[in-house]
Structure 1
Amino acid sequence: MSGIRFRDGVLVVEREPNQLDELALSFSAVLNRVDIDHVFIAGYVAILAGRARSTEDVDVLIEEIDEETASRLATVLEEEGFWGPAMPLDSMSEMLANGDNIWVAPDDQITPHLEVKFVRDEFDRASLENSAAARIGDETIPIGPLELQIAYKLYLGAQKDLEDAVHLYSLFKETLSGGRLKEWVTRLGVEDEYERLKRA
């Protein structure tokens, strides 16, 4: 049986985990082990919610961490069979501090990979602080609030982003918070795009 529903802030995904899910679940477990607050966002959320499209990366926001925590994270990732395809894992702290995203992937794999970045602005912060939960089988990971994901996709405006927004909105419009969605639409200045979305 497979099905997807969103109720009371929980996205329930009733299907076998795919390769992206396994990657997100295992990375989330590592971040929990090191006690790092995090949230999965962007295209992966739409794919998790059943959108059929390819992606090479899973985007994850993490809270700002100090050098010691970054070093501990690098150690645990190496223990768990991850590597940094674009840089050594022990450069993680410096790269994140410089505002660079970092790639993390299972050993000997380049795609799909995780793209990890620090929270940088009010929208990132809101994703982290207002995260929803996605339940895949018996496991749960934090995802960005769907209302903000939709508004931000409208703001980005690329074809795949608009299609992600349409998918999430059409699937969950009955259970989304209209007030929160309107708030993010207004703050991101995408009122016209939102009107078009509602007519799609």
Structure 2
Amino acid sequence: MEFRDDALILDKPPNGLDELVLDVTGILDRVGIEYVVVSGYVAVLLGRARATEDIDVITDRFDESTADDLVDGLQDAGYWGSAMSLDRLYETLSDGLPVRIAEEGHRVPSVECKFAADEYDKASLHDTLAVRLGGEEFVIGSLELQIAYKLDMGAERDYEDALYLHELLEPTLNTSKLESYVERLGVEAEYDELKRT
């Protein structure tokens, strides 16, 4: 793993989850949808040994015509809506609900896609890091925001994700940016505990 040219370069063969991410984000790119991959998968991508069945993807809002193009691209590539029909993708996202996308006939692993809904979703869309893996590229949220947000989520697994990312990446993190997110999310006590661990 190395940082080069404003990108994170991962020298590992993509596993099944990685291939799902590369495939679905590639379709989002081709359709012209701005997206960011966030949450637990980011820790798993960087080597944390834990199970995850879904990959969280936040997108900028797009119109119904773009949604139709996305549905066509996903269906052509062998994906379906594992919780509801992809034909209802735009309606579901517009209602503020996520859409689960998986290989046809499977429920997991899946990509859980949703429109950016709050200031942190929007911050994730605009504060990103490119990841190069297996000769392809996709976009994840700022590592500093990932750590602070995981601390805010409060579950033990989320804290462990934040701790793992902090320990792994501490020399490369922008501390002032991380502390700004920590302050905005009101997780100073959790962050102090994480630094003491």
2:113 alignment partner, SS class: strand
Instruction: Show the counterpart of 2:87.
Output: 90
Contact 1:7 1:175 survives alignment (8 Å): no
C-alpha spacing 1:35/1:118, structure 2 compared with 1 (3 Å): same
1:129 aligns with 2:144: no
Supply the distance in 1 between the matched residues of 2:186 and 2:4 (Cα, whole angstroms).
27
- What letter corresponds to residue 141 of structure 1 in structure 2? F
Over residues 136-191 of structure 1, what are the superposed CA-to-partner deviations in whole Å (9 max), with x where a residue is unaligned?
12111100000000000000010110000000000000000001000000000000
Instruction: Show the counterpart of 1:34.
Output: 31
Instruction: Show the counterpart of 1:20.
Output: 17
* Aligned-pair CA distance for 1:5: 3.4
Contact 1:63 1:118 survives alignment (8 Å): yes
- What letter corresponds to residue 173 of structure 2 in structure 1? L
- What letter corresponds to residue 7 of structure 2 in structure 1? V
- Kindly, what percent of the aligned residue pairs are identical? 48
RMSD of the alignment, in Å? 1.0
The number of aligned residues is 197
Supply the distance in 1 between the matched residues of 2:4 and 2:118 (Cα, whole angstroms).
28
Supply the distance in 2 between the matched residues of 1:191 and 1:40 (Cα, whole angstroms).
25
Contact 1:60 1:117 survives alignment (8 Å): yes
Over residues 43-85 of structure 1, what are the superposed CA-to-partner deviations in whole Å (9 max), with x where a residue is unaligned?
0000011000001101100110111111111111111111011
* Aligned-pair CA distance for 1:10: 2.3
* Aligned-pair CA distance for 1:12: 2.0
Supply the distance in 2 between the matched residues of 1:13 and 1:124 (Cα, whole angstroms).
25
* Aligned-pair CA distance for 1:134: 1.2
Contact 1:6 1:172 survives alignment (8 Å): no
1:173 alignment partner, SS class: helix
Deviates more, 1:171-180 or 1:7-16: 7-16
Alignment of 1:49-128 (within 5 A): 49-128=46-125
Supply the distance in 2 between the matched residues of 1:70 and 1:125 (Cα, whole angstroms).
19
C-alpha spacing 1:60/1:97, structure 2 compared with 1 (3 Å): same
Instruction: Show the counterpart of 1:191.
Output: 188
Supply the distance in 1 between the matched residues of 2:10 and 2:33 (Cα, whole angstroms).
24
1:52 alignment partner, SS class: coil
Provide the TM-score with structure 1 as the length reference: 0.96
Instruction: Show the counterpart of 1:11.
Output: 8
Unmatched segments (≥5 aa) in structure 1: none
Supply the distance in 1 between the matched residues of 2:158 and 2:8 (Cα, whole angstroms).
20
Provide the TM-score with structure 2 as the length reference: 0.97
